[in-house]
């Protein structure tokens, strides 16, 4: 298994309950694809974006470190693209 980090920019207008539910869903997708979460946390509570993304000027940054097979990363990205509360996603391999 390979170490990865995923940075999500999430819609800022979600209330606390919706945020917790979304963060749980993010981790659930990884475990469903035979991965394991090492660490997950809110990296920045609310930041101004350099340019609007899906009509949002602000975003919440959420960082997840996880382990997964290389072939599963594409499936993870596709699953995350279906979630309308995620504005942007970046997955990088961590050595």
When pLDDT is cut at 50, 70 and 90, the band that residue 11 belongs to is very high
What predicted TM-score, i.e. pTM, was given to this entire model?
0.87
- pLDDT for res 95: 77
**Alpha carbon 82 to its chain's center:** 12
pLDDT value for 62: 94
> Looking at the predicted structure, is the pLDDT value of residue 30 above 80?
yes
Q: What distance in Å separates the CA atoms of residue 20 and residue 35, rounded to the nearest whole number? A: 20
What is the DSSP track for 9-53?
A: EE-TT--HHHHHHHHHHHHHHHHHTT-EEEEEEEEEEEEEEEEEE
Report whether pLDDT(44) > 90.
Answer: no
């Amino acid at each position: 298994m390979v170490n990865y980090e995923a940075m999500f920019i999430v819609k800022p207008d979600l209330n606390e309950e919706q945020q917790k539910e979304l963060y749980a869903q993010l981790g659930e997708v990884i475990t469903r694809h035979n991965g394991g979460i090492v660490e997950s946390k809110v990296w920045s509570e609310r930041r101004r974006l350099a340019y609007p993304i899906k009509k949002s000027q602000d975003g919440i940054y959420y960082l997840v470190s996880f382990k997964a097979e290389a072939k599963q990363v594409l499936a993870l990205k596709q699953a995350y693209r279906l979630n309308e509360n995620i504005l942007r996603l970046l997955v990088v391999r961590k050595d």
